[in-house]
Amino acid sequence: FYIPSIKTAIEVQGSHHFDGSRCFGHPEIYEITVERDKRKVELCNQNGIEIVYFTNVNIHESQDYLGHLFTTSEALITYLKSL
């Protein structure tokens, strides 16, 4: 999702963005997914767009490149209202 008025993109992330063993039976897809996610961050940064993430997955390992990561809709909404 993209909110032009606050130049913010919201990406909903499933478990395959955080855990290579959950990539539909193909762990190599995890590496492709991570590289694609990093590219999205790069493109957003180049265009002055903040990208934030929402997931319902319990995150055991942080992904450095992911910046703002929210696991509840309330926290995400509160953050967006602060922009």
Q: Is the per-residue pLDDT at 20 higher than 80?
A: no
CB 66 within 8 A of CB 54: no
Residue 70 burial (CB < 10 Å; 0-12/13-18/19+)?
middle
pLDDT digits (tens, 9 = 90+) for 56-73: 766 655 566 677 888 889
What percent of the chain shows pLDDT beyond 90?
41
